[in-house]
Structure 1
Amino acid sequence: MSQDSPPARIGRRTFVTGLAAAGAALVGGTAASATATRTESGSGPAVAWERNYSDEAYDVHLTAATQTADGGYALAGTGAPAGSDGAQYGIVKAAADGSTEWVAFVDDGDPETNDVSLCDIVQTADGGVVVVGYATNPTNGGDDLVGGKVAEAAKVTASGDVAWVVQHDAFEDDESADLDAGNSDDSLFLTATATDDGGFLAGGTFEGSAWLAKLDGSGSIAWEQNYDGFSVEWVRPRDGGYHAAVDADDTCAGLVLDSAGEVQRRVTLGIDYGATPYNHEFALTSDGGYAYTGRDEGREDMVLGKLDGSGARTWRAEFDGPAGDTDFGKHVLETEDGGYAVAGYMSVDTAAEYAPTVVRTDGDGTEQWRYLFTESEADGVADVLQTEDGGYAVLLASGTNTLVKLTAGTDAEEETTQESTETETQEPTETATQESTETATEEPTETTREPTETRTQEPTETRTKESTDTATQTSESTATDAPTDTSDGTSGDASTETATRRTATDAPTESGSDDDSFRCML
């Protein structure tokens, strides 16, 4: 099947290799006490550890994260070593416990650019990491001269050495038609995903159209496609091909692609833009559908919605924060058990104070727990991952350079508690010793007393399931007490606020929102 639109003109490609070397182990990562507050949880998580990656040896602003094959993490952003001029791509490789293994900076070496923006990071099949983003060319002083953006990707090896940097721009080979002569056509890489052959896919925008490029392990572009819409902002391998999401005028579209990026099927994603005009991210779900997040029309509640494989909405949920307004879902992912995790921020008081927030739901969007980082200096979540052990790695925003590891906080914790209780009960019977009897009775008593003292009101949740014929099913459930936070010996404070998920009252509409602040995904 042919692609949505003819290929855009491809401009010059400049490869720059070996521009910078990584600074190995510039900082070890310092352990910090928990700065999170768990609220309204039936079986919420605890902070396992927290690391801050700021250091006097460099300046970095981390904004993206991925888990690596060794159980550790690769974090990326922009910054530079101390004493360096200009912005570079910065990568921090951390071990499974969050301790720093190495730090690398990548300079694009282009004298025409003066700034870079990091958009995504992915680990490749050989253990290295690739970062994608774009560089900015400033204006050069004339009335007819304008700046522009050029897509960039950089590869760092598993040991932290810079392998290559590639630029892919939207300008003519003829310098008279290039950026410095007033051509402002932009190219941007916004998202990346690894492929089995050691390369990766980079999605973004090229001269105003949605763009997908396949790069091999050396950074060369093997093929590229352009599609109707503004940008490809999300892409994943699926069934021997790829699945992508495209931002368009007043809607978003899902693209089912073959192995060469040719469109096999285009699906209009049926979001009600009247009720949810602010949508920032999608996730492909295991059933072939989509999950999306953002906030509602009144900018008050965090939104999570589910679409089926045809793009029709099956349900939509809203989550209300402690202050009752200005709550926002920025990231969404499907969890290993078929539920969802939404990350963003919630307002915690009327003085416009915001806390980074993670909300965990089941497969129907019913809230299981939420975690508010009320003591953090961050005002949101830059990225969130589900880790191999079922927990969550949360990269806090606002340049705090802080990664927090949350435990799973699900039925696994309850099973562990039950198992230890049975063991404690059996031991006194078999050994008939006073010591084991005291141990068995004291610890459970302390564990059950603390949640009772800290909780003053049980949250009420309302779940709405919306099908295409607008039929609504409503059920209510009450969350139970949150367990004690055991992070580094520091307990989180239980909140007395009520968590309410409100029924969506806006019927789906066929027209898109006319609010030009709408962005399909970040």
Structure 2
Amino acid sequence: MKKIVLFTALILLTSIGTTSASLILDEGWNKTFGGSNSDGTYSGQFGGNNLVQQTSDGGYIIAGYTNSYGAGKKDIWLIKTDANGNEEWNRTFGGSDDDEAYSVQQTSDGGYVIAGYTKSFCSGYYDAWLIKTDANGNEVWNKTFGGSDLDWASSVQQTSDGGYIVAGVVNFRALWLMKTDSSGNVEWSKSFSCGWRTNNWASSVQQTSDGGYIVAGYGLNTTGYWDWYDAWLIKTDANGNEEWNRTFGCLYRSSGAHSVQQTSDGGYIVAGWTSCGDGGVLLIKTDSDGNEEWSKIFGISSAIPYANSVQQTSDGSYIIAGSTLHYSISGDSDIWIIKTDSSGNKEWNKKFGGSNEDRGSSVQQTSDGGYIIAGWTNSYGAGQSDVWLIKLAPETMLLPDLALSPSDIAFSNPNPVANEEITITATIHNEGDADANNILIQFYDGDPDGGGTLIGEQVISSITAGGLATAQINWIAQEGT
């Protein structure tokens, strides 16, 4: 009887190292909305960190401004889309002068609440404006708040009692915090100044787990002839009474806080910008008392980028939306999205834009694990600038997919000559979308799971995605019958 010799080759990816993996960010879709004039979403120091939200039906609500439609120069523009970014309806709110939205949220009744400012219906230069709509964007009520100077509402959130917390500025002097009932009637109002400093304002507010509020914004610092801003964080109780406040920055150089969120550990994540050092996007993590745990600055050479929005993601990391060029400078800016780990270390970043000015306002993680981004574009769309809505699919890790050919090699007629050296060859095809590194190929005489003997092995350092590699060993045939 002739002996049948069966050789088996195995691919072992983790025996001596790890294979490489690549992250793919798939732009699921993007949509522009606008007419022949200037339309967009606010992006800057006064708010705009919450201008897009996924709605309960899986679609999206966007608040911005339009000069193409409506009653006046600039009107608040509310746009509702389906899950694929197709417009379902839009509404404008405004009069003969400028009116703009800085914040929007879907409310518990399925409608929406909008915060911003109005110059059309005001008692002073600007008034804060709060608008409540039904689920179809039809106005239910609106309220204006302000005096003879400049007032606006930067941020709004529905509170646990069905009312609303609003943050902004009063008289362009003090950071302002106001609580209303469910009909927009004032329950209490507080103002905060950084010592004797003036020109302070809020950019972001959130109700905290203890029923109080966390507010982020700007505090003006003045020493002699020098003026600069600090990023400012204020914690209050449920009645708006200050519990503590913290400032973040450096001497003679400005910083600002544009967005704040309470994190899963009870602390806070704050995003904004700073001109400290080389300047750039500022990300600060604090404990529950506002003490800094870590801070990061993400810069770009020859520019000072800024963050407008930050959110903790489902994996405990952070997603940031902003722009590559400071809001005070017009020019070739792109939307800039940064993803960090839980310690603020950058995992990836992605830019969106063309040859003109494009700005990022808000980002939110969606129910599928992807992200929805709102901003405005001067590079694409119908007019001078358009509202820009971008959907990113969930992050996907691309891994190698290795196929071995042949996996079994049999000699039966004739047998290999006893004590003669033969060469055994196997081809490995990386059928995946990422490079593979440190691949260990092992050759067995017989079935490795059935007592087969290891007769040789070879390490392949790398196989590119879609590439081929060859492994071979020399083996001395054993005598048998």
* Structure 1 residue 407 corresponds to structure 2 residue 393: yes
Q: Deviations over 1:174-228 (max 9, x none)?
A: xxxxxxxxxx423211110112343321111223322222223322223323333
SS at match of 1:91: strand
- Aligned match for 1:120, one of 81, 103, 106: 103
For the 8 Å contact 2:249–2:276, the answer to whether it is kept is no
Q: Aligned partners of 2:190, 2:255: CA distance in 1, in Å? A: 28
- Aligned match for 1:237, one of 195, 207, 232: 207
User: 1:286 — aligned with what?
Assistant: 264
Q: 1:280 to 1:243 in 2, by over 3 A?
A: closer
User: 2:62 — aligned with what?
Assistant: 75
Q: Deviations over 1:372-400 (max 9, x none)?
A: 11437543212222222221111133433
SS at match of 1:380: strand
TM-aligned CA deviation for residue 361 of structure 1: 0.6
User: 2:91 — aligned with what?
Assistant: 104
Q: Aligned partners of 1:330, 1:83: CA distance in 2, in Å? A: 27
Matches within 5 A, 1:9-20: none
Q: Aligned partners of 1:377, 1:101: CA distance in 2, in Å? A: 29
TM-aligned CA deviation for residue 137 of structure 1: 6.5
- Aligned match for 1:87, one of 54, 74, 82: 74
User: 1:516 — aligned with what?
Assistant: none
Letter in 2 for 1:70: D
User: 1:339 — aligned with what?
Assistant: 317
SS at match of 2:264: coil
Matches within 5 A, 1:362-381: 362-375=341-354, 377-381=356-360
User: 1:488 — aligned with what?
Assistant: none
SS at match of 2:126: strand
Q: Deviations over 1:321-357 (max 9, x none)?
A: 4x5543333332222222112222337xxx9643211
Q: Aligned partners of 1:232, 1:352: CA distance in 2, in Å? A: 26
Q: Deviations over 1:36-91 (max 9, x none)?
A: xxxxx9524210111122257x9743332222222221111122674744432110
User: 2:294 — aligned with what?
Assistant: 315
TM-aligned CA deviation for residue 406 of structure 1: 0.8
Q: 1:378 to 1:74 in 2, by over 3 A?
A: farther
User: 1:16 — aligned with what?
Assistant: none
Letter in 2 for 1:214: K
Structure 1 vs Structure 2 CA RMSD: 3.6
Q: 1:373 to 1:247 in 2, by over 3 A?
A: closer
Q: Aligned partners of 1:232, 1:75: CA distance in 2, in Å? A: 21
For the 8 Å contact 1:302–1:319, the answer to whether it is kept is yes
Q: Aligned partners of 2:238, 2:390: CA distance in 1, in Å? A: 36
More helix by share: 1
- Aligned match for 2:176, one of 207, 211, 215: 211
Letter in 1 for 2:434: T
Q: Aligned partners of 1:60, 1:374: CA distance in 2, in Å? A: 16
Pairs aligned (count): 362
TM-aligned CA deviation for residue 149 of structure 1: 1.2
For the 8 Å contact 2:40–2:388, the answer to whether it is kept is no
User: 1:192 — aligned with what?
Assistant: 156
TM-aligned CA deviation for residue 283 of structure 1: 1.9
User: 1:164 — aligned with what?
Assistant: 141
Letter in 2 for 1:91: L
Q: Deviations over 1:95-151 (max 9, x none)?
A: 2221111111123x5xxx721122111111111111111122799xxxxxx961111
Letter in 2 for 1:249: L
Q: 1:377 to 1:317 in 2, by over 3 A?
A: same
Q: 1:241 to 1:326 in 2, by over 3 A?
A: closer
User: 1:490 — aligned with what?
Assistant: none
Larger radius of gyration: 2
* Structure 1 residue 397 corresponds to structure 2 residue 376: yes
TM-aligned CA deviation for residue 246 of structure 1: 5.0
SS at match of 2:155: strand
Q: Deviations over 1:382-440 (max 9, x none)?
A: 2222222221111133433110111232xxx23xx56x959x99xx99xxxxxxxxxxx
Letter in 1 for 2:164: F
User: 1:502 — aligned with what?
Assistant: none
For the 8 Å contact 1:317–1:365, the answer to whether it is kept is yes
* Structure 1 residue 136 corresponds to structure 2 residue 93: no
* Structure 1 residue 385 corresponds to structure 2 residue 368: no
* Structure 1 residue 153 corresponds to structure 2 residue 130: yes
- Aligned match for 1:356, one of 319, 335, 343: 335
Q: Aligned partners of 2:238, 2:299: CA distance in 1, in Å? A: 42
User: 2:32 — aligned with what?
Assistant: 52
TM-score (structure 2 length as normaliser): 0.66
SS at match of 2:160: coil
TM-aligned CA deviation for residue 446 of structure 1: 5.9
Once the two structures are overlaid, the 10-residue window that deviates more, 80-89 or 285-294, is 80-89
For the 8 Å contact 1:125–1:195, the answer to whether it is kept is no
Q: Aligned partners of 2:62, 2:331: CA distance in 1, in Å? A: 29
SS at match of 1:448: coil
SS at match of 2:41: strand
Letter in 2 for 1:121: V
- Aligned match for 2:245, one of 252, 257, 267: 267
Q: 1:49 to 1:101 in 2, by over 3 A?
A: same
Q: Aligned partners of 1:331, 1:42: CA distance in 2, in Å? A: 26
SS at match of 1:401: strand
Q: Aligned partners of 1:50, 1:298: CA distance in 2, in Å? A: 35
- Aligned match for 2:190, one of 222, 225, 230: 225
Any gaps of 5 or more consecutive residues in structure 2? 1-20, 43-50, 195-199, 222-229, 378-384, 409-427, 437-464, 467-481
For the 8 Å contact 2:205–2:216, the answer to whether it is kept is yes
Q: 1:154 to 1:331 in 2, by over 3 A?
A: same
Letter in 2 for 1:304: L
Letter in 2 for 1:125: S
For the 8 Å contact 2:273–2:279, the answer to whether it is kept is no
Q: Aligned partners of 2:139, 2:307: CA distance in 1, in Å? A: 34
Percent of paired sites with the same residue: 24
TM-score (structure 1 length as normaliser): 0.61
Q: Aligned partners of 1:291, 1:280: CA distance in 2, in Å? A: 7
Letter in 1 for 2:276: E
Any gaps of 5 or more consecutive residues in structure 1? 1-40, 140-145, 171-183, 430-440, 451-482, 485-522
Q: 1:211 to 1:293 in 2, by over 3 A?
A: closer
Letter in 1 for 2:255: Y
